[in-house]
Amino acid sequence: MGEAILHGHRVSYRTAGEGPVVLLIHGITGDSRQWNQIIPLLADRYTVLAPDLLGHGQSAKPRGDYSLGAYAVSLRDLLIVLGHRRATVVGHSLGGGIAMQFSYEYPVFCERLVLVDSGGLGPEVHPLLRAATLPGAELVLPLIAHSRLHVVGDAIGHALGRLGLELGHDLAEMIRGYASLSDAEARRAFLHTVRAVIDLGGQRVNATDRLYLAQMIPTLIVWGRRDPLIPVEHATVAHRGIPGSRLEIFDDAGHFPQLEQPVRFVRMLIDFIESTGPAAFEFSDQDLNMLRERMLKRGRKSR
Residue 170 among the catalytic residues: no
- The residue annotated as part of the active site, out of 59, 227, 234, 239, is 227
Residue 255 among the catalytic residues: yes
- The residue annotated as part of the active site, out of 26, 234, 239, 255, is 255
- The residue annotated as part of the active site, out of 59, 74, 93, 118, is 93
Per-residue buried b or exposed e for 75-110, using 16+ beta carbons within 10 Å of the residue's own CB: bbebbeeeeeebbbbbbbbbbbbbbbbbbbebbebb
Q: Hey, is 274 helix, strand or coil?
A: helix
Residue by residue, pLDDT tens for the chain (303 residues) are 999 999 999 999 999 999 999 999 999 989 999 999 999 999 999 999 999 999 999 999 999 899 999 999 999 999 999 999 999 999 999 999 999 999 999 999 999 999 999 999 999 998 878 888 887 776 566 655 554 444 444 554 454 445 444 455 676 777 777 677 777 888 888 889 999 999 889 999 999 999 998 888 999 999 999 999 999 999 999 999 999 999 999 999 999 999 999 999 999 999 999 999 999 888 888 888 988 888 888 888 777
pTM of the shown model: 0.88
Rounded CA-CA distance 228/254 in Å is 7
Residue 93 among the catalytic residues: yes
